[in-house]
């Protein structure tokens, strides 16, 4: 039988970063899932699409970094997005190992159509969790995310 005292030094599970970050993500997706379902995108496809649409063009390695996704997942998602006409891929003429991705007009039109829903979602969240708290949370998460690069 396990000695329960061995766990005495741990934080309670409901106060650990993995659990709280997972719950925060689930809460955010609660607001976004209806729109994602409506447009036929997964959360990962939307994440990739958002980053690509923000850039004039982006290479796949930078896209994987920006979306916090593994390269094989990004590559699979890009194939789907290319098949439905949301992105275009081009080989780098100076480096055949590198590909560039850019959003099509169809993708930019979709982003424009989703802007109101995105703003509505944030407004809904800010009714219970103020805009000030949202900015603080985003700043803290950004700072926390940068710890790894500072430790290198």
**pLDDT number for residue 3:** 64
Per-residue model confidence as pLDDT tens digits over 62-100: 999 999 999 999 999 999 999 999 999 999 899 988 999
Residue 34 pLDDT greater than 60, yes or no: yes
* pLDDT band of 2, cuts 50, 70, 90: low
Three state DSSP letters for the chain: CCCHHHHCCCCCHHHCHHHHHHHHHHHHHHHHHHHHHHHCCCHHHHHHHHHHHHCCCEEHHHHHHHHCCCHHHHHHHHHHHHHCCCEEEEEECCEEEEEEEEECHHHHHHHHHHHHHHHHHHHHHHHHCCHHHHHHHHHHHHHHHCHHHHHC
**pLDDT number for residue 44:** 96
Q: Mean pLDDT score of the chain, rounded to an integer?
A: 92
Per-residue model confidence as pLDDT tens digits over 16-29: 999 999 999 999 99
Mean pLDDT of 104-129: 94
Give me the percent of the chain exceeding a pLDDT of 90: 81
């Amino acid at each position: 039988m396990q000695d329960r005292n061995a766990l005495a030094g741990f934080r309670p599970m409901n106060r650990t970063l993995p659990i709280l970050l997972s719950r925060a993500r689930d809460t955010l997706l609660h607001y976004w899932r209806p729109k994602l379902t409506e447009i036929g995108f997964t959360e990962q496809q939307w994440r990739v699409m958002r980053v690509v649409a923000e850039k004039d063009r982006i290479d796949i390695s930078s896209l994987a970094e920006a979306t916090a996704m593994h390269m094989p997942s990004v590559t699979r998602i890009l194939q789907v997005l290319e098949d439905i006409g949301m992105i275009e891929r081009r080989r780098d003429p100076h480096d055949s190992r590198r590909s560039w991705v850019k959003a099509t007009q169809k993708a930019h039109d979709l982003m424009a159509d989703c802007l109101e829903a995105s703003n509505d979602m944030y407004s809904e969240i800010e009714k219970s969790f103020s805009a000030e708290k949202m900015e603080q949370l985003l700043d803290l998460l950004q700072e926390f995310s940068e710890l790894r690069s500072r430790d290198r």
